[in-house]
Amino acid sequence: MLAGALLVPGPAAAGDFAQFRPIGFSSDGAVFAYEEFGIQDGSGSAYSNIYFVDTVKDTFLPGTPIRVQAQENDSSLRRVRAESAAKANPLVARYSLNDHPGYLVAFNPVSEIGPEPHLLRYDAFPADPPVGQPYALRLAEIPAPVPESCKSFLEKGVGFRLEFSEKAGKPANETAYADQRIPESRGCPTGYRIAGVVTYQGAPRPLHMALVMVLRLGFEGPDGRWLAVPLTP
């Protein structure tokens, strides 16, 4: 068995793609929180970032995101995630986020083989048989100014646009979001993919949080990080 195991190739040096964990919504849907975490390529250090999105203004809550990163070559995800969770707990409790998890109705990680990277079609509520009619979100990459900190590394900037091509079972051609600029917090993006949808059906309005995977320059190859964009269906 050991000889056979030695013949199995290990992963080649590559960038790191963060894992994703939704935390939940406030009762009125005005706040959505999620965690991304992983082991950073190059440094080998564990990290955990917790984001609190103001879904009305499409901004982060003041004082957030909460970012915790270990020292170089410290891959203790358990400790780092516990530290970021402890720092986030006051906001999680203030907005009762654990009481309203929403639904992860679509998920298309970079490791999924088959689905288009720029299109997701989904039902807004998990049920069998389906309740309601489906939605379809399409992501288009668009030109954008290169962030100042990336001008030594990138020849051109890349932003994205999100479009509903189907709403409640009816054809649509509706721009739901479009970048006006690339924020510095995004790093140096080279591309994007539509990676999932979390929905919330609470009052006063339903929400679809589009999960966008940002592909950006890393130490050993492209890295993947998560954005959550609030959309009103």
Report the domain count for the chain. Answer: 2
Cis peptide leading into residue 129 (ω within 30°): yes
In terms of domains, do 56 and 155 share one?
no
Q: Which of 53, 83, 101 is the last residue of a domain?
A: 101
123 and 49 part of one domain: no
CB atoms closer than 10 angstroms to residue 195: 24
Categorise residue 132: left if φ over 0, alpha if ψ from -120 to 50, beta otherwise.
Answer: left
Q: Examine the domain organization and report whether 131 and 67 are in the same domain.
A: no
- What does the pLDDT average to over 92-120? 95
pLDDT band of residue 63 (cuts 50, 70, 90) is: very high
Distance CA 60, CA 45 (A): 25
* Residues in a beta bridge with 67: 49
Asked if pLDDT for residue 53 goes beyond 70, the answer is yes
Asked which of 56, 74, 101 is the last residue of a domain, the reply is 101
What is the rounded average pLDDT of the residues 69-90?
95
Residue found under tokens 């103001």: 54
Q: Give the end-to-end CA distance of the chain in Å, rounded to a whole number.
A: 53
Residues 116 and 130 grouped into a single domain: yes
- Residue 14 has a pLDDT of 62
Is residue 122 domain-shared with residue 42, that is, in the same domain? Answer: no
pLDDT per residue as tens digits for the range 190-208: 999 999 999 999 878 899 9
Domain annotation covers residue 153: yes
Q: 138 vs 41, 112, 141, 167, 200, CA distance in Å?
A: 30, 17, 10, 12, 20
Q: What is the pLDDT of residue 7?
A: 44
Domain containing 232: what range? 102-233
Q: What is the pLDDT of residues 110-133, one digit of tens each?
A: 999 988 899 999 999 999 999 999
Whether the pLDDT of residue 83 is over 70: the answer is: yes
Judge contact between 158 and 146, C-beta under 8 A: no
pLDDT in tens, 155-174: 999 999 999 999 999 999 99
